[in-house]
Structure formats: structure tokens, C-alpha cells
Amino acid sequence: MRAALWLLALFGVAVSAALVAGNNQAVVTLFWPPYRVDLSFNLVVLLLAALFLLLYLASRALTALVSLPLEARRWRAQQKERAMFGSLLDSLAHQLAGRYIRATKSAQNALAQEKSLAQVADEPGYEVGHSAARSNQLRSLAHLLVAESAQSLQNRALRDEHLQLALRSSAHRNALEVRDGVQFRAARWAMDDRDPGAALDWLAQLPQGAARRTLALRMKLRAARQLRHTAQALDTARLLAKHRAFSPEAAQSIVRGLALELLNDAHDPAQLQRAWESLDATEQSMTELAVHAASRLTALHGDPDLARSWLLPSWERMVQPRSDLGDNLRVKLIGVLESGLASLDAAWLGRIEAAQLGQPRDANLQYLAGMACLKLQLWGKARQLLTQATHGLQDATLHRNAWRALAVLAEQRDDPAAAAQAYKRAAQL
């Protein structure tokens, strides 16, 4: 369609020129004494157009002739630039293929080409093809590839040298992303060298946004766990869980493990209470953590009422009709409550009695209620509940304790035969 329109326009110009020039009888007379030259007006117009075209072509040819040296320098610079990028790609390919010596040589060749190209760019009248930002990035990447290869070859001197050069090249404002990458790699190398403290130092130098990336948080978690900085590792694991870096099950398992480690690091009741208060509400609602914290507080001779207050949400969860609490956690919870029966208040006694009456076939609740009655010297009720519990208890420790308590009750009522039988059953367990 465009060709047809151009053809119509050409025909229109030809027709217009024919109409104007065909009937044009004008004459141009040139007086050059003693001569007189008469020329057709149409011929004069054609001569002027030809003269203009000739002068235009001559100026273009002169310009091209003058710019030949500059074009030659530009062509040579383009070849160097292509060779530079080619060497950088070769270095990356060798690095991925495990050819670290070749990767080092290719990266150093790229650095040499970049230095030569920078000298060409300083010549007057020439503008380099890539900007200063690209130059800084390329130089930093080349140094980083050399350092990466040196790390793989365990050449720490060469690695540190090019690491500093990469940091220096990426210090410009237009290469900050590359600088973040260099610092990430330095932290990873520190972890490979089993120096988690240096890794944390490198991660601390990152900007605030980069420090909250998943890659940085993963390395921070690993370094903090190696250094046994449990509180820092727990905070990092929470952030990773928030960023969905792990599956929900894995995140819960990691957080629970770190919280248990934090509780185990406490060596007195005050430290344990601070550690418990540092946990968030979701973590404090985990039955395993609550039972472990209460058990630790009891072992450290802490306040039993405080331990039971930590256990209260887990207790309410356990006594529900369709509780999903596992048998192991039930047994641990019963054991912790049993260890504090001597200081049990009326409120907890009421809870235990109500739970046992609500689930009369639960052997664990029968055992706990029976032991509570034994502490309160309610011998008859204690004997009844413990006897019922021995028929359903699955845990060996609770079962053995129940028979031992029955033996004590038999001795209390002067029945040596029943006491001996109870001791025998306890010994068999």
C-alpha cells in the first residue's frame, strides 16, 4: 500500500513539473561583457539543483574522510568491548563447569580488556559504548569471579585481594546491587571456612533491606546456631517463617527446637522466666514448650504456682473431649503436675477432680486424681482411683508409680501381703 501511494505521488510530481516546465518560455540572460549568454529558465533550475547536489556530496565525502581515524578507534574499542564481555562469559562458564584456573584467567583477561577500554575512553572525541555504571559492575563481577575461583582452590590470599578490589569497585552509587552480592558471597565464604562470627559481621554490613532478604536470613540463622546465639537464631527463624522460607511444619519444628534450646540455656528461675516471656503467644501455646518450661522451673526449684500457670492452657486443651494432644505430651503434663502436688491449691484440685469426673475412663486422669488424694491423705479414694488406673495406664513410669503408691497404702492399713504384691508388680515394670 505504501509503495502504491509513493507511485501515485511520483506521478503527481511528474505531471506538475510537466505542466509548469512545458509551457515556460522564460529566458535567463547572463551578461559577461563583451558576451551575452541566453539560457532557458528550466535549464538554469536544473543546473542549480545539480550544483547543490554536487556540493552536498562533496561535503559528505570530506566529513567521512576527516572522521576516518575516529571511526577506526571506535571500531577497535568495540572489538575490545566484545572481547571483554566474551571473556567475562567464558569465566562464568568455566566457573560453573568447575574449571577454576581457566575461570580465573578469563576473568583477569576481562579486567585487562576493561582497563584498556577505559584508556581508549579517555581519548578526546570518543565516547565509550558502555556507561561508567556498567564499567563498575563489570569490574566488580570480574573480581568476584576471580575470588570465587580462589575460594574453590583454597587460595585465601588471592581471594581476599580480589574481594577487596570487588568491594572497592562496587562502592560507587551506581553499583550497590553488585556490592550486596559481593558481601553475600563473603559471608558464604566465611561460613565455608567455619567462621560464623565473620559471617555475621559481613551480614551486619548489609543495608537494612538486603539484610531482611531470605538469603541473608538463612545464613544468619545458620551462623547464629553455630555460635549458640539462641535468642538471635530464634528471632531470625521467626522472620524466615514470616517470609514463608520454610513449609509451615518445618518452620514450626525449627522454632520449637530453638525455643527448647533457649529454655535449656536458663540456669536459674529468673533466667527461665525471662526466656519464657521472650517467647510470643503462639510459641507459649505450644504444649511441648509449656510442659518443658514448667518441668525446667520445677527442676530449678522455682515457683510451682508460676509453673502451673504456664501449664494451664495446655491442661485445658488436654481435658477437652476430643483433644488432639499426643499420649507422650499427656504423660509429660501429668508428670509435671504430679511433681507439684504438695503445693497444689484448691483451684487446681477442683480442675483435676472435674476433669476426672468428666472423663472417668481416662487412666492418666485417674492416676493424677489418685495421687492428689494420696497427698491429701484421702486413703480410700486414692486407693480406688489408683487401682482403676493400673488397668489402663500405658506409660511404664506412671504404671510403676501407681503400684508403688498402692503398696504404700497397703502398708498404711497394715496389709503386708497386698503391699508385697504391689511392690512385686512395680518391680516387674
DSSP 177-204: HHHHHHHHHHHHHHHHTT-HHHHHHHHH
- Residue 109: Cβ within 10 Å count: 18
The predicted pLDDT at position 20 comes to 66
d(CA 80, CA 87): 10
pLDDT at residue 125 greater than cutoff 80: no
Q: Do the Cβ atoms of 426 and 400 come closer than 8 Å? A: yes
Q: How far is CA 6 from CA 10, 16, 30, 159, 284, in A?
A: 6, 15, 38, 66, 82
**Residue 54's pLDDT band (cuts 50, 70, 90):** very high
The predicted pLDDT at position 133 comes to 54
Average pLDDT of the chain to the nearest whole number = 86
Average pLDDT over residues 22-44: 76
The predicted pLDDT at position 64 comes to 82
Is the Cα dihedral 149, 153, 154, 157 positive or negative?
negative
Show Cβ contacts of residue 40 under 8 Å, excluding neighbours closer than 6 positions.
Answer: 26, 27, 28
- CA 307-310-315 angle, 5° bins: 105
d(CA 148, CA 143): 9
Q: Tell me, which fold does domain 347-429 have in CATH?
A: 1.25.40
pLDDT at residue 79 greater than cutoff 90: no
pLDDT digits (tens, 9 = 90+) for 104-113: 999 999 988 8
Record the cell numbers describing residue 187, joined without a space. 559471608
Output the CATH code of domain 73-193. Answer: 1.25.40
Helix residue ranges per DSSP H, 213-303: 214-226, 230-242, 248-264, 269-278, 281-284, 287-299
pLDDT digits (tens, 9 = 90+) for 245-304: 888 889 889 999 999 999 999 889 999 999 999 999 888 888 899 999 999 998 888 888
Question: What is the DSSP track for 18-75?
Answer: HHHHHT---EEEEEETTEEEEEEHHHHHHHHHHHHHHHHHHHHHHHHHHTHHHHHHHH
**Residue 122's pLDDT band (cuts 50, 70, 90):** low
Show Cβ contacts of residue 427 under 8 Å, excluding neighbours closer than 6 positions.
Answer: none
pLDDT at residue 185 greater than cutoff 90: yes
Model pTM?
0.74
Record the cell numbers describing residue 424, joined without a space. 512385686
Peptide bond connecting 34 to the previous residue in cis, omega within 30 degrees of 0: yes
What Rg, from alpha-carbon coordinates, does the chain have? 45
The amino acid at residue 62 is L
